[in-house]
Amino acid sequence: MRFAGNRAHNDPGRIQRIRQGLASRLGTAFRSPAAASAGDLPPPAGGATGQIDRRKFLLAGTAGSAGAVLFSSPSLAALLTGPSVKARTAAATPATAGQWTAPFDLTLVSIHAVVLRTGSVLLFSQPSNGSVGSDAVLWNPVSGAITNVALSYQRDIFCSGMTVIPGGRVFIAGGHIYQGAANGIHQGVSNTTLFAPGSNSWTEGPVMDVARWYPTVAQLGDGTVRVLGGTTSPGTDAVTIDAYDPSAHPPLTVLPSTANKSMATYPRVKLTTTGLLAFTNAGTTCFFNPATSAWTNGPKLNSGTRNVNDTSVLLPGLTKIMEIGGTISTGTTATAEILDLSVSPLAWKPTASMNFGRVWANTVLLADGTVLVVGGGASGNYTGPVLTPELYDPVAATWTQMAAQAAPRMYHSTAVLLPDGRVLSAGQSSGSLEQTGEVFSPPYLFAGARPTITSAPASLGYNQQFTITTPNFASIGRVALVRPGSVTHSNNFDQRYVDIMYTSNGSTGLTATSPPDGNHAPPGWYMLFVLSSGVPSVARWVQVG
Ligand SMILES: [Cu+2]
């Protein structure tokens, strides 16, 4: 499965479609009608008020949203058109299942997506023009405007790994040799590339010790970055780890050979609160200690390896890592399992399975700490699209089916949480809707009035008291810093949900305490949400660390 992507890269139809897409691209700004309708208007008030009530309701009403997938079976189709099911279908309202916009044109295939501190989303893929670099745009989720920020020189950052470094720039490691993707040559590069929001400028970063295709990047608590895994050439793993320090000269070093490890492509890696990097989608979980450059083995997945096409997430609370779906020995799986790092001895424990098996799905931490799994397919890269997302409640350990989206979002698709609490789902490098995005409004946006943040500090140190001014101080039930997403190939390198301790000051707002250290919240830009009765505010941007 490691090279499951090759078929897509070789697809001449896809390349032609991308070229056609470039021909139709507008140079600077553009707003599609659908994007306009996806603007930052307050959603209508919903009928349901309590999160628990909504969840119970959904359990009885899931058949409607699942219908698109289940209709492949005639007997199920007959069942689903029966009168009782029609009644339940009608009950699936935005307040219970969320709501999607229609697909809208993003002018490129959004294979990589990074949420920037400006609130815009950087989307990029391979070059569609043989003389310049990768296609890239900024999409403004509020206005729908699209700004072309394609690389002006011959660099292909498609199939790289990327993270937003503390100052807000995007650090991009590896990619494709120029024109490699167009010609089916999956050879990585040793280049790194930086994108600066605001000036929208690209610069070359330091060169890594080896070429990397499909690497993973992970930011540590001190703001430095490790680049792990990927292949140096087709079929040959990159075994070294590169360390990138944005504040140092020279900024990049190769770690001692004790750090070497064969990790295949896009390994799923998470920073733990003790400062270790946990590598979790192979058979045996491994922990890397950046202080000693040594690895130790942890527990085995119950499922065996889940391969490169699973999806994973560090859950709110920061002690539980969840592996979801992917390919196991019996094929595509709907199972999920959780490793709780706070429980000894360490062991992966099954949690509830999804309603659908999925490969190449994306996982998004929502503003209320629930987990949206969106897209993916039944097998392979583009087979059996699962149009129905599912929402995992980490407290109840339940999956709830959401409203179905219109476009398949399988291999080379992306999904990220937006600062207004909605979700962008985009891409997939095949099909007529590949250059589109869709925006999902979760049920919490139909559950009543949104709390507001009147003011909050623009920057925060660690373990520091600060004030959030909000007229909703009496009803706030949760405060969180959410690290924005940075995702490709079902692998989100950055997203993180950090709960914040707070008390109401009884008059104008909240007195809160910032995260204890960088291992809980690596330095950088975060979206600050306050929630009232499960309904999130629009986020404020806060620089932490
Ligand atoms: Cu790929």
For every one of its 545 residues, what pLDDT tens digit does the chain have, with 9 covering 90 and above? 333 333 334 333 333 333 333 333 322 222 222 222 222 222 222 222 222 222 222 222 222 332 222 223 333 333 333 334 344 455 789 999 999 999 999 999 999 999 999 999 999 999 998 899 999 999 999 999 999 999 999 999 999 999 999 999 999 999 999 999 889 999 999 999 999 999 999 999 999 999 999 999 999 999 999 999 999 999 999 999 999 999 998 999 999 999 999 999 999 999 999 999 999 999 999 999 999 999 999 999 999 999 999 999 999 999 999 999 999 999 999 999 999 999 999 999 999 999 999 999 999 999 999 999 999 999 999 999 999 999 999 999 999 999 999 999 999 999 999 999 999 999 999 999 999 999 999 999 999 999 999 999 999 999 999 999 999 999 999 999 999 999 999 999 999 999 999 999 989 999 999 999 999 999 999 999 999 999 999 999 999 99
Q: Would you say 416 and 487 are in contact if contact means Cβ atoms under 8 Å apart? A: yes
Answer whether 323's CB lies under 8 Å from 268's CB: yes
Q: Return d(Cα 417, Cα 432) in angstroms, integer.
A: 24
3-state secondary structure (DSSP) of residue 68: helix
Strand 327-328 with 331-332, pairing: antiparallel
Output the CA torsion sign for 250, 219, 411, 239: positive
The tokens describing 288, both together, are 């890397």
DSSP 193-209: EEEETTTTEEEE-PPPS
Distance (angstroms) between ligand 1 centre and the Cα of 1 equals 12
| Span from the CA of 460 to the centroid of ligand 1 (angstroms) | 37
Q: How far is the CA of 380 from the centre of ligand 1 (A)?
A: 13
- Residue 190 C-alpha to ligand 1 middle, in angstroms? 17
Considering the entire predicted model, what is its pTM? 0.85
Euclidean distance between CA atoms 133 and 309, whole angstroms: 27
Residue 412 CA to ligand 1 center (angstroms) comes to: 6
The CATH-assigned architecture of domain 1-30+114-300 is 6 Propeller (2.120)
217 CA distance to ligand 1 centroid (A)? 16
CATH T-level assignment (fold) for domain 459-544: Immunoglobulin-like (2.60.40)
Its sign, for the CA torsion 182, 184, 186, 189, is negative
| Cα(428) to centroid(ligand 1), Å | 10
Domain locations in the chain? Answer: 1-30+114-300, 459-544
Q: What is the CA radius of gyration of the chain?
A: 22
Residues 527/539, Cβ–Cβ less than 8 Å: yes
